[in-house]
Amino acid sequence: MTGISNKILLASVLGLLVALLVPHSHVENYMEMASRLLNLAPSSPSNYDPSSYEPIRLHVHMNGEYGRCHKSPYVLSTPLPISSRNYSFDSHLTDSLLSFPEIDSGCGPVVGEGTFKDFCDMGPEKTVILEDHDSLVPVPSTRTLPCSYYTREGRRITSLSNLIEFASLSSAPLDVYAVAAGRLFQFAPGKVGETFDLSHLPHPQGKKMYLETMSVSPKVFEIKNFFVEEEADDLIERAIGSSSKTHGLKRSTTGVDSEQDTNPIRTSENAFDTSGKSAMSLKKRCFKILGINPYKEDMADGLQVLRYNVSTAYKSHLDYLDMTPTSEHDFDSSRVGTNRFATILLYMSDFEPADGGETVFSYGEPYKSVKTPPTYLEALEEARAHSSLFKPNSWEEKMVAECRSQLSVSPKRARSVLFYSQHPDGRVDKRSKHGGCPVLTDEKVKWAANLWVWNGPRMGYSSAPLKHADKVKKGHKSEKKDRAQPPKGSIKVVFENKGKDPKFNGASLYYQETLWGDFGPGESHSVNSFQGHVWYVKGDNGEVLLTLVVGGGEGNQRFEV
């Protein structure tokens, strides 16, 4: 029987077998799956000598985890098909690892629970649909989706020759990082100061790029030699020269789409560069560092350029966006939704420590501190003694104290920082809370930029996930709303502290768990909210003093204390 006849027979048998089984939720039809399985049939080119293959030893890690998830190395004693590439290679390697008895001891979705199979394929309820989803090749032995595999430095392993090449670089077992289907690679630091060599990535001036770990939890890295001063100058010039009403410099806002508000806890100015030569080059470089290849425009916001003058700042916050009641977009990235996954910060000004303007990570410990850092209270006293820029007990004053006592990154020209807003499985990393420290000098302007990279198609794109995919056809794009108008169904709400009750002295206003601003005597806030929204007035110690619920009905609403 000829080779072609063999393939036809094999395809027929596979099609019949798959038709008799319940197909995996992610596979569109059984004939397509049969075709993919057929492509996995081992083939041996005439010039390949299996006897020359030397076993490869592997240490397997779950994505983003420093420790390996099994004790002894896995030995790949039998070569994978030399012809398998990309998705078929992922399928073959996953299938091979599933035969390793130790792989299920620590490589499940939760440490000590589940199996490696369950880790690679989290099921239709937790697998984000990425652009290449239909190219994934199911694992032959389980008919589930495979993991993809990366080196410690974020290099995708796409073939047996790749695997052999990386393994040959050291006599020690090769560290391989398994990434679940629908998820993105994350670096896995084990200690502060640890570095990751990125010399495989191109640099505009031929310099060597590498990461230096500033914090393990949250994951914060300085990217050495990420960009150059000429690119910084270009971003600033374009921001200053932009006459765009939507992308030119203006007071920064918070929120998404039509629910954006000018927030009193963010006093910087921002502009967006969506298409400039330097901006596009930097965005693509960001994706390469994150192990996302090729660049995907629908997974990145425009490059945001920020200007901070004296006393301006941004209260500590998460880049991860909250679910909004009027948005169709599904922001729950722990399931099938998409949200901000990683942020890369770019600094374009030189500041001394006394100038302020740092980026502070609220849960990060000070890095490379020459002396023992002050406690928060010590830093607060120091801030009060040296700055008359802020009102006593204001959020800006407290921010200065936080910046002096926690992990903070001082602006230096052409310096850059990477941090993650999500855990590898898509859950929000609440320890990624960070803020822009107040600028304490009137002699300098802080210029910075940031790029938010999403874990899948971001809001507004036809491929973005929707909250009610069962009711709204997937890929439906909402009619564009007029951003100059209040969100449909919103209610104008005013909160005012008239100073009648001393217990509200030094109070703060919160929307759910998000600080909105100071709410001491004489303070007022006007916002667009919605029926059922819950707001809190909290005291200095965080105690809830008053709970306010927005009611229904027509017209504006007002709350006074």
pLDDT digits (tens, 9 = 90+) for 269-315: 888 887 788 999 999 999 999 999 989 989 998 789 999 888 777 88
Structurally, how many domains does the chain consist of?
3
Can you give the pLDDT at residue 463? 87
Question: Which has more pLDDT, 82 or 341?
Answer: 341
pLDDT at res. 483: 31
Backbone angle region of 552, left / alpha / beta, with phi > 0 → left and psi within -120 to 50 → alpha: beta
* CB-CB neighbours of 98 under 10 Å: 18
pLDDT tens per residue across span 499-552:
999 999 888 888 766 667 778 888 888 887 777 778 889 887 778 899 998 887
Cα-trace Rg, the chain: 26
464-470 contacts, C-beta under 8 A, 24 or more apart: 464/298, 464/329, 464/330, 464/338, 465/128, 465/129, 465/329, 465/330, 465/336, 465/337, 465/338, 466/328, 466/329, 466/330, 467/323, 467/327, 467/328, 467/329, 467/330, 467/337, 468/328, 469/330
Overall average pLDDT of the 366-379 stretch: 73
Half-sphere exposure of 278 (CA within 13 A, CB side): 20
What are the strands of the beta sheet with 544-549, ordered from one edge? 514-518, 508-511, 534-538, 544-549
Same domain, 401 and 497: no
Higher-confidence residue of 379 and 264: namely 379
Q: Are 252 and 387 in a shared domain?
A: yes
263 in any annotated domain: yes
Residue type, 431: R
Sequence-ordered strand ranges (E) for 280-413: 303-308, 314-317, 340-347, 359-361, 407-409
Q: What is the pLDDT of residue 251?
A: 46
Residue 341: pLDDT over 80: yes
Residue 456: which of 342, 345, 344, 346 has the closest Cα?
A: 342
Confidence (pLDDT) at 479:
34
Predicted TM-score (pTM) of this structure: 0.74
Judge whether 197 lies within some domain.
no
Q: For the sheet with 195-197, list strands across it.
A: 195-197, 210-215, 220-224, 415-420, 340-347, 446-454, 303-308, 269-273, 250-251
Do 504 and 376 share a domain, yes or no?
A: no
Q: Are residues 503 and 388 in the same domain?
A: no
Q: How far apart are the first and last CA of the chain?
A: 89
From the list 59, 73, 74, 55, the residue with the least C-alpha distance to 175 is 59
In a domain, 417, yes or no: yes
Pair (403, 547) in one structural domain: no
Angle at the Cα of 203 (from 202 to 205), degrees rounded to 5?
135
Whether 497 and 396 share a structural domain: no
Please indicate whether residue 367 or residue 231 has the higher confidence score (pLDDT): 231
Which residues in 153-177 are b (16+ Cβ under 10 Å) and which e?
Answer: bbbbbbbbebbeebbeeeeebbbbb
CA distances from 223 to 2, 14, 198, 199, 346 (A): 56, 48, 9, 12, 10
Question: How far lies 156's CA from each of 95, 185, 224, 296, 378, in Å?
Answer: 18, 9, 21, 17, 47
| Domain C-terminal end among 404, 432, 454 | 454
Are the CB atoms for 492 and 557 separated by under 8 Å? yes
Residue 387 within a domain: yes
Least confident of 102-116, 319-333, 424-438: 102-116
Question: What pLDDT score was predicted for residue 242?
Answer: 62
Residue 15 counted as domain residue: no
Task: State the pLDDT at residue 473.
Answer: 39
Residue 30 in this model has a pLDDT that exceeds 80 = no
Q: What are the contacts of 249-255 at 24+ separation with CB within 8 A?
A: 249/305, 249/307, 252/306, 252/314, 254/317, 255/324
Q: Is the pLDDT of residue 454 over 80?
A: yes
Per-residue confidence band for 469, with pLDDT thresholds at 50, 70 and 90: low
What percentage of the chain carries pLDDT values higher than 90?
49
pLDDT of 160 reads: 92
Q: Model confidence at 556, in pLDDT bands (50, 70, 90)?
A: confident
- Would you say residue 249 lies in a domain? yes
312 touches 441 (CB < 8 A) = no
In a domain, 68, yes or no: yes
Q: Looking at residue 215, what is its pLDDT? A: 97
Same domain, 450 and 496: no
Give the C-alpha distances (Å, rounded to integers) separating 20 from 15, 27, 200: 9, 14, 47
| Shared domain check, 250 and 128 | no
pLDDT band at 385 (very low <50, low <70, confident <90, very high): low
* Same-domain pairing of 142 and 50: yes
Q: Report the C-alpha gap between 295 and 309 in whole angstroms.
A: 34
Joined together, the tokens standing for residue 411 give 């602006």
Do residues 300 and 338 make contact, with C-beta atoms less than 8 angstroms apart? no
The more confidently predicted of residues 25 and 432 is 432
Both 397 and 542 in one domain: the answer is: no
Return the pLDDT at 489.
61
Rounded distance between C-alpha atoms, residue 554 and residue 313, angstroms: 36
- Mean pLDDT over 469-482 rounds to 39
Residues 532 and 554: their CA atoms lie apart, in Å, by 14
| Any domain includes 513 | yes
Q: What is the mean pLDDT of residues 166-193?
A: 96
Percent of the chain topping pLDDT 70: 79
Q: What is the CATH number of the domain that holds 504?
A: 2.60.40.780
Say how far residue 264 (Cα) sits from the centre of its chain: 25
- Residue 184, C-beta contacts closer than 8 angstroms, at least 6 positions apart: 290, 291, 292, 341, 455
Q: Are residues 290 and 417 in the same domain?
A: yes
Q: What is the DSSP string of 441-481?
A: -SS--EEEEEEEEESSSPTTSTTS-BTTTTTS-TT--PPPP
What is the number of H-type helices and E-type strands within the chain?
10, 24
Q: Which structural domain range is residue 516 located in? A: 491-560
Under a CB-based contact definition with an 8 Å cutoff, are residues 543 and 478 in contact?
no
Angle ∠(94,104,141) on CA atoms, nearest 5: 40
Task: Look at 265 and 328; give whichever has higher pLDDT.
Answer: 328
Strand order in the sheet with 56-62: 74-76, 56-62, 174-179, 148-150
Last-in-domain residue among 435, 454, 473: 454
The pLDDT value recorded for residue 20 is: 42
- Residue 149 exposure: Cα atoms within 13 Å on the Cβ side: 27
Question: Of 149, 179, 209, at which residue does a domain stop?
Answer: 179
Q: How far is CA 421 from the centre of its chain?
A: 4
Q: Give the pLDDT confidence score for residue 46 in this predicted structure.
A: 38
Confidence label for 450 from pLDDT (cuts 50, 70 and 90):
very high
Lowest-pLDDT range of 252-261, 342-351, 461-470: 252-261
Task: Say if residue 433 is in the same domain as residue 513.
Answer: no
pLDDT (tens digit per residue) in 60-108: 999 999 999 888 999 998 888 877 788 999 999 999 999 998 888 778 7
Q: Residue 512: its pLDDT value, please?
A: 65
CATH of the domain at 369: 2.60.120.620
Averaged pLDDT for residues 384-404: 79
Confidence class for position 142, pLDDT limits 50, 70, 90? very high
Using the predicted structure, report yes or no on whether residue 153 has a pLDDT greater than 70. yes
Convert the pLDDT of each residue in 204-259 to its tens digit.
899 999 999 999 999 999 999 999 999 999 999 998 876 554 455 654 444 454 44
| Choice between 478 and 467, residue whose per-residue pLDDT is larger | 467
